Amino acid sequence: MQLTFLGAAGEVTGSCYLLETEDWRMLVDCGMFQGGREADRKNRTAFNFDPETIDCVLLTHAHIDHSGLLPRLSAWGFRGPVYTTSATNDLLHVMLKDSAHIQEKETEWHNRARRGRSRSGSSLQEYAPLYTVAQAENFLKQLRSVKYNTEHFPLPGVRCIFRDAGHILGSAIIELWLTEGSKTKKIVFSGDLGQPGHPIVRDPTPIHSADILLVESTYGNRLHRSMTDTLDELVYAINDTLVDKGGNVIIPAFTVGRTQDLLFLLIDLYREGRLGEMEIYVDSPMALAATGITMKHIAMLDRESQEAMQWMRANDKKPRIQFIQDVEESMQLNMIQRGAIIISASGMCDAGRIKHHLKYNLNRPECSIVITGFQAARTLGRRLVDGAKVVKIFGQEIAVRADIYTIGGLSAHADQKALLGWLSHFKKPPIKTFVVHGEPSSAAALATAIQDTLQWRDVAIPAQKAVVTL
């Protein structure tokens, strides 16, 4: 019985783990690498196995760094089922087609730019997208929905239970029991764990035992601001920009999870009188669908979110929120000089419509960019957070004159205190704990904290492509 770390080992993105015995091979997650030029190369060489030999996939949640290579896996020969929660299933029908559409468009732009730079008469090999919209649509037939807190048996000798991870709608911790001969091992994959008290979702489910544990460490080296301080800064950023300076507020946000969090918070702050009348534009082709899916699964939401949605319905749907669908409407937003809050994807600023809004607003000192989520190394969002004075967007250098706010308290990832709190529910230490899904400094800090605070001994940070015999 072997476990291979194919992604999210020593870095945040590309979550993918291969489990195999003599009888079967299974993946947990199959995510896309994100950030910088190396990401494309990693995505194109991610499979050091034959996809046809994979029997099934267990998927923790819908974010692209966990699910984004599934259509490529299918296009390369994987024909088995992918088990995930019903909400994740619904979200993937939106997100993977959107991911494919973005890849097709950016590949088209990249090839056109290369042809324009090439010498007359010379030929260049055309880039191809990781997968097409048609391939993404074909893959969706392989999805199978499972319920939280219910036993499932995806393969002979394999039992699993999906628990609520409190990260985004439908996110799951996976408890997995593997039996080979007379031996059974319990492996727990934390997936991405949410911060207790986070808007929209419930708190992560406590887990009490594991032989082998894989725990995420995205924010393993820091603490988030309190929600009170976070909301104070969000209110200041919006009022200072819209009221005092007369500019626009641009918010890069993951279309699933963060966008719904922000809408809930803006509604609640308006309801409390801390924010005045606002023109809120949600510019992402899939945001309306994702928000609709959130409302479809309203029973999964926490009590406060359900109350806020009921209040909005009873108060003439204020504040005013417009979902932007077509390209022409999106382009018109760039003509707005003041008074707009524009929420757009991608959350790390590396693709999609947000790049256009940054292009038109970054160089304006009266505007503000509000960063509300993790920015992976080498992404445009990370360069802004790190204080870049000039950034390149669509090949054009843009001066950064807008205010940049980094509001970490809205992160959907647990901070170090919350991670240790979740781990403290284990009745005894796992035989082996692997710290994954974090940049080296974050993973190392969490590993040290686990050893020092919880007195767990066997805690390791796996290397990329590391193979462990269970």
Instruction: State residue 124's pLDDT score.
Output: 61
CA 91, 92, 97 angle in degrees (round to 5)?
Answer: 120
Measured distance CA(88)–CA(235) in Å, rounded: 31
Instruction: State residue 214's pLDDT score.
Output: 98
- The pTM of this model reads 0.85
| CATH code, residues 227-410 | 3.40.50.10890
Q: CA of 26: how far to CAs of 12, 146, 149, 161, in Å?
A: 21, 17, 21, 15
Angle between helices 287-296 and 258-271 (to 10 degrees): 80
Instruction: State residue 373's pLDDT score.
Output: 81
Where along the chain do its domains lie?
2-222+412-469, 227-410
Architecture of the domain whose range is 2-222+412-469 = 4-Layer Sandwich (3.60)
Measured distance CA(119)–CA(279) in Å, rounded: 47
Measured distance CA(253)–CA(63) in Å, rounded: 12
Measured distance CA(430)–CA(426) in Å, rounded: 8
Say which residue the tokens 């790049």 belong to. Answer: 355
Say which residue the tokens 């020969």 belong to. Answer: 77
The distance of Cα 219 from the centroid of its chain, to the nearest Å, equals 14
Measured distance CA(428)–CA(410) in Å, rounded: 31
Measured distance CA(206)–CA(193) in Å, rounded: 11
pLDDT per position in the chain (470 positions), as tens? 899 999 999 999 999 999 999 999 999 999 999 876 789 899 999 998 999 999 999 999 999 999 999 999 999 999 999 999 999 999 999 999 988 988 898 888 878 877 776 655 555 667 889 999 999 999 999 999 999 999 999 999 999 999 999 999 999 999 999 998 889 999 999 999 999 988 888 999 999 999 999 999 999 999 998 889 999 999 999 999 999 999 999 999 987 888 988 998 998 899 899 999 899 999 987 788 888 898 888 778 787 877 777 787 787 667 889 999 889 999 999 999 999 999 998 888 887 899 999 999 999 999 999 998 878 888 899 999 999 999 999 989 999 999 999 987 888 899 999 999 999 999 999 999 999 999 999 999 999 999 999 999 999 999 999 999 98
